[in-house]
């Protein structure tokens, strides 16, 4: 009886928690059949902050509404932000287990790992993960097994492409710096892939390692003028501190490349990576299937189908760079 009471209180408290994020009109599909007064409960474990992941969360909510899951009616969403900290993620995941949510939604390998550690029974969907097989989240992409599934970024596989893009923009590039959170297994995997790609291109590499927000400024100070460009391995810590990293990179006059357009919108030079909004909408499809009875173990982990190249011409001019017309012609978006 006590657990049921807590669940009812929880629904009442969080039933409209995500309503302000749902910017689209309700979908035309009817709400899934649920017992009266017993909406599905989604525990949303945000990897970063509302400013870093709010737009992505909104895409998830919009797609859920299109599929018939309406906040306060057929679904309640408890929203928690880990701010890039695994310890906070672990506490949030434990809270969701106590509250007996129906499903946990998160993003990024570290956050998904903490959710998986917290429960082997509550379904988990990750909107993004760099290498879910290598990180031990799933058994295989086709048959994830266990209680977790989602979408893989395959981040390391496109590392070489990003280095090539930097070479196109930075004439005579010979010295490359890599910024990576070495506390993140996914970031370390990507960093190793960048180093391997750089070696084949005869580039000299300097690795700038961080593990906390407090490490970022000293890391840039240690660089001095030893690099001509910067490759940023993006994960929750980097996402939560994107403005600071951009400011320091510009102060050091370092052209930087990232994996997503949000960083370019914040003023960085360039990004190349999967379309994040598409991935989060597809994550909502996974959530829908699971809430309708599908087992995570049988839902294949999907991969990106759309990659975007975004270039900030204002930043290029500020750095004294001329972006080749051929590269601009290939860009999916140019910010001026």
C-beta separation of 299 from 282 below 8 A: no
156: left (phi over 0), alpha (psi -120 to 50) or beta: alpha
- pLDDT computed for residue 22 by the predictor: 32
The enclosing H or E element of 79 equals strand 75-81
Rounded CA separation 164/162 (Å): 5
- pLDDT computed for residue 72 by the predictor: 87
C-beta separation of 11 from 39 below 8 A: yes
Tokens 């070489």 appear where? 160
List the pLDDT tens digit at each of the 336 positions of the chain. 344 434 444 443 343 333 333 332 223 233 344 444 589 999 999 999 998 899 999 999 999 999 999 988 999 999 999 998 889 999 999 999 999 999 999 999 889 999 999 999 999 999 999 889 888 899 999 999 999 999 998 766 789 999 999 999 999 999 999 999 998 888 898 999 999 999 999 999 999 999 999 999 999 998 877 799 999 999 888 988 999 999 999 999 999 999 988 899 989 999 999 999 999 999 999 999 999 999 999 999 999 999 999 999 999 999 999 999 999 999 999 998
- pLDDT computed for residue 8 by the predictor: 42
Name which of 216, 230, 221 is nearest 175 in CA terms.
230
Rounded CA separation 151/286 (Å): 9
Helix axes 242-251, 216-223, angle to 10 degrees: 20
Rounded CA separation 64/292 (Å): 12
- pLDDT computed for residue 120 by the predictor: 97
**What are 155's two structure tokens?**
């981040």
Domain spans in the chain, listed from the N-terminal domain onward = 2-153+276-306, 155-274+308-335
Q: Which CATH architecture has domain 2-153+276-306?
A: 3-Layer(aba) Sandwich (3.40)
Strands (E), 211-284: 229-232, 256-258, 270-274
- The reported pTM is 0.76
Rounded CA separation 226/217 (Å): 16
- Which CATH superfamily does the domain covering 155-274+308-335 fall into? Response regulator (3.40.50.2300)
- pLDDT computed for residue 37 by the predictor: 56
Name which of 305, 333, 280 is nearest 54 in CA terms.
280
């Amino acid at each position: 009886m006590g657990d049921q009471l807590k669940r009812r209180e929880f629904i009442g408290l969080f039933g409209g928690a995500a309503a302000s994020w749902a910017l689209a009109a309700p979908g035309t599909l009817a709400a899934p059949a649920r017992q009266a007064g017993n909406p599905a409960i989604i525990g949303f474990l945000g990897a970063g902050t509302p400013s870093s992941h709010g737009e992505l969360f909104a895409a998830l909510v919009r797609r859920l509404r299109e599929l018939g899951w309406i906040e306060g009616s057929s679904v309640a969403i408890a929203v928690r932000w880990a701010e890039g900290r695994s310890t906070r993620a672990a506490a949030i995941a434990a809270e969701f287990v106590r509250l007996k949510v129906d499903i946990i939604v998160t993003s990024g390998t570290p956050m998904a790992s903490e959710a998986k550690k917290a429960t082997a029974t509550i379904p988990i969907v990750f909107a993004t993960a760099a290498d879910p097989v290598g990180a031990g989240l799933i058994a295989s992409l086709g048959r994830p097994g266990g209680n977790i599934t989602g979408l893989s970024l395959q981040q390391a596989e496109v590392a070489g492409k990003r280095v090539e893009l930097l070479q196109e923009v930075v004439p005579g590039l010979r010295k490359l710096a890599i910024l990576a959170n070495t506390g993140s297994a996914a970031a370390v995997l990507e960093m190793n892939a960048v180093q391997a790609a750089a070696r084949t291109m005869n580039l000299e590499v300097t690795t700038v390692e961080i593990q906390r927000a407090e490490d970022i400024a000293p890391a840039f100070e240690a660089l001095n003028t030893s690099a001509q460009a910067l490759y940023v391995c993006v994960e929750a810590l980097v996402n939560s501190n994107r403005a600071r990293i951009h400011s320091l990179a510009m102060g050091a006059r370092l052209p930087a490349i990232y994996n997503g357009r949000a960083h370019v919108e914040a003023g960085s030079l360039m990004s190349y990576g999967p379309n994040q909004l598409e991935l989060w909408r597809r994550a909502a499809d996974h959530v829908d299937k699971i809430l309708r009875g599908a087992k995570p173990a049988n839902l294949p982990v999907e991969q990106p189908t759309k990659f975007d190249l975004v270039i900030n011409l204002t930043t290029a001019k500020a750095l004294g760079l001329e972006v080749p017309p051929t590269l601009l012609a290939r860009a999916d978006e140019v910010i001026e």
